[in-house]
Amino acid sequence: MTRQSSGVDVQHAIPIVIGLACGIYAFSVGVPRLVTQLTGVEGSFTAERCTWELDSEGETQGECEGSFTASDGSFTIRPIESEGVFHSRPQEPVTRLVGGPSADKAVPPDLATSLIPMGFGLTAFAFPAWALTAATRDAAERRRRRRAWPAAADLPPNFGPVRIPPAGSGTETGAGWSADTAAGSSAGSAAGSAAGSAAAVGSEPPVGTTPKHHS
């Protein structure tokens, strides 16, 4: 049974590139945040200045900048931006984590803020991964057909079911196929001519008999 074409073509290059770009961006956001959440220094963030805007649903949300103080009091960072959005200015310090004294962003401890972007990145990688896998299988199939039947190597992948003849059958190449077809046609024509001649000879009456005439 011959596998049909995977459908991978030049027009898929743009969505492949977009999928790779979205996946790389999502992982570039989620992975560093996850590393900070797992290995960072916990402390408290105090908001000092916030910028506000309306989201797509018309609700107010903002990003805040302020100071961060480690829980053990070993260092303080000012100014530092807090990742995530606030729906109102926090009146009290909130829990955040940083990668160290030189960090420029404080991340929330909620792992969902890292896992969601990474999940989106995996989804974005799905189409490029499928396309590259299918293209690799198509290339391997063409190489296999080229070795088994050179005449089929130039056929498009969606040509349809292609039966590769067994070795030594005389139909392994296009020339062999044409020669066998021509030979079969010639043999059929010769057999038809011989049958017609035999029929014509058989229509003569036997010797010594008088043919009957119908009035």
pLDDT tens digits along 72-128 = 999 999 999 998 888 888 889 999 999 999 999 999 999 998 999 999 999 989 888
Q: What does pTM read for this prediction?
A: 0.54
What is the rounded average pLDDT of the residues 169-179?
Answer: 46
**Cα 36 to chain center, whole Å?**
32
Distance separating alpha carbons of residues 55 and 46, to the nearest angstrom:
24
Per-residue confidence band for 148, with pLDDT thresholds at 50, 70 and 90: confident
The single-letter code of the amino acid at 20 is L
Asked if the model's pLDDT at residue 160 lies above 50, the reply is no
Tokens for 141, please give them: 């199939």
Q: What are the two backbone dihedrals, phi and then psi, of residue 58, each rounded to the nearest 5 degrees?
A: 85, 10
Q: Output the average pLDDT for the chain.
A: 75
Q: Count Cβ neighbours within 10 Å for each residue of 3-31 and write b for 16 or more, e otherwise.
A: eeebebeeebeeebeebbebbeebbebbe
| CB-CB contact of 180 with 169 (8 Å) | no
Out of 50-54, 99-103, 154-158, the most confident range is: 99-103
* Rounded Cα–Cα distance for residues 85 and 61 (Å): 6
197: its two tokens = 């001649």
In this prediction, residue 134 carries a pLDDT of: 77
Q: Which pLDDT score, from 0 to 100, does residue 56 have?
A: 79
Residues 117, 27: Cα–Cα separation, whole Å: 7
